[in-house]
Amino acid sequence: MSDNLVVIGTQWGDEGKGKIVDWLTEQFAAVVRFQGGHNAGHTLVIQGEKTVLHLIPSGILRPQVRCLIGNGVVLSLSALMEELETLEQAGIATAGRLQVSSACNLILPYHIALDEARERALGQQAIGTTGRGIGPCYEDKVARRGIRLYELLDEAHFSRRVQAVMAYHNTILQQVFGAEPLASQPVINAALAYRTRIEPLIADVPDELYRLSQAGQRILFEGAQGALLDIDHGTYPYVTSSNTLSGAAASGSGLGPRALHYVLGIVKAYTTRVGSGPFPTELNDAVGQYLGERGHEFGATTGRKRRCGWLDIVALRRSLQLNSVSGLCITKLDVLDGLEVLKLCVAYRYQDQELTTPPLDGRQFTVCEPVYEELPGWSDSTAGITCYADLPAAARAYLTRIAELCNTPLAVISTGPDRADTLVLDPQLARAAD
């Protein structure tokens, strides 16, 4: 297989990236998170035991794998420490394996207060953020007033910086949103309380990755959220606050783009979306309820119910183009077991036009109607199948049609949540099954 691999979600998130990253990491020396924050939720199931990760890369369950959090991630110190404690209590050793970029911007309590105040003010037009301060932290980063992790190591400097930034944000909280201001000293004290634990984890991640690469070690880059939530290319403004595409693996980690060799696009066998925003194939009927119940479609981070619908090939094709996807990994195939008829959205109807690419104007996207192609379903169970020939003929036909419509080869099929419930089709990825 090519040296380094980027695992990317190709829809609106929740495609099952965590399981696939964990399954693949046996082949890699290091796993890197390169964007997002603790608004991500990656659920891993190994021999029936479930672990949910938010910030720490999914490779942490492999004892020989190094895990790095890149500069593109916005960092909640409290969330990171809570996650570390949970892993340690479960007997998963993290010491010496986890490193965090000194350039990560810190999420602090005033970011959360701003996030919540903004969503309240938007009312019915709310974006549907997780309320965890992700967006305001990225705003501070772009405005060049963000506070980076390395600044925490100088107490006097850190205190001055927090006081200055909070004076600015408290004005907005009071005068724009009518919210209560936050006192700066408790914010400073809470962050400094983590300094002893975080300092040994701080690293020059770009240099660490360069050294690994030069030594011939293989690196896996783990995306969070999904490509259709990308701040630039997603269904704006109903998007996340970071670049979620495969190209962000370079800028968000510090390893150059020529070191990204293979992009694995994770695609749920149907489509889900959390929060607000356009969703042409959404099903508010018995089938949508069936998908939600069988797929356990509740957010691992927030517990919010996911909206469910048929697989949207139009949006998926755009995502595959944006990410230069090398191969498809179809997840949750077993959720479709028992449906008599399946549908694939192959075009949108907008006014008198039939569109085969998504509109760039989000207002148009909202009113697009799906044009469907129907395929027969199957009644036999696909759960846990690891040989392609053992899948029902209708399931194979469904998968083949997805690959044809997307002009992208099938690489992996996931037939259940456990690490073992994985079927490999691309020889370049076959070693993960050994």
What is the band of 434 on the pLDDT scale with cuts at 50, 70, 90?
very low
Cβ neighbors of 346 (< 8 A, separation 6 or more) are: 313, 314, 356, 371, 372, 373, 405
259-275 burial: b if 16+ Cβ within 10 Å, else e: bbebbbbbbbbbbbbbb
Confidence of residue 4 (pLDDT cuts 50, 70, 90): very high
In degrees, to the nearest 5, what angle opens at C-alpha 292 toward C-alphas 269 and 228? 50
Rg (CA), the chain: 22
Position 430 confidence tier, pLDDT thresholds 50, 70, 90: confident
Residue 232 annotated among the catalytic residues of the structure: no
pLDDT grade, residue 432 (50/70/90)? Answer: very low
Q: Output the CA–CA distances (angstroms, integers) from residue 272 to 10, 101, 180, 306, 364, in the order listed.
A: 11, 32, 36, 6, 20
pLDDT score recorded for residue 298: 81
> Please, are residues 17 and 244 in contact by the beta-carbon 8 Å criterion?
no
pLDDT of residue 181: 95
Tokens of 319: 């995502």
With cut-offs at 50, 70 and 90, classify the pLDDT of residue 46: low
The per-residue DSSP string of 317-330 comes to HHHHHHHT-SEEEE
Mean pLDDT of the region 321-331: 97
pTM: 0.92
pLDDT in tens, 108-147: 999 999 999 988 887 777 776 778 899 999 999 999 999 9
pLDDT digits (tens, 9 = 90+) for 342-395: 999 999 999 989 999 999 888 888 899 999 999 999 999 999 999 999 999 999
Reported as a single tens digit per residue, the pLDDT across 211-251 is: 999 999 999 999 989 999 999 999 998 999 999 999 999 99
Mean pLDDT confidence for 311-337: 97
Res 299 pLDDT > 70: no
Question: Which pLDDT value is given to residue 48?
Answer: 62
Number of residues written out for the chain = 434
Residue 1 has pLDDT above 50, yes or no: no
What does the block give as tokens for 116?
């919540």
Provide the mean pLDDT of the chain.
92
pLDDT of the residue at 58 = 83
pLDDT tens string 140-198: 999 999 999 999 999 999 999 999 999 999 999 999 999 999 999 999 999 999 999 99
- pLDDT band at residue 52 under the 50/70/90 scheme: confident
Band (pLDDT 50/70/90 cuts) for residue 340 is: very high
Give me the catalytic one of 14, 140, 312, 334: 14
Tell me what pLDDT residue 273 has: 94
Which phi and psi (to 5°) does residue 351 adopt?
55, -120
Q: Closest by alpha carbon to 265, among 17, 12, 90, 1?
A: 17
Residue 433: the pLDDT is 44
Q: Which member of 38, 42, 169, 233 is catalytic?
A: 42
Can you give the pLDDT at residue 59?
85
Is 14 a residue of the active site?
yes
Residue 45 phi/psi, 5-degree rounding, is: -125, 115
Cβ(358)–Cβ(279) below 8 Å:
no
pLDDT value of residue 91: 86
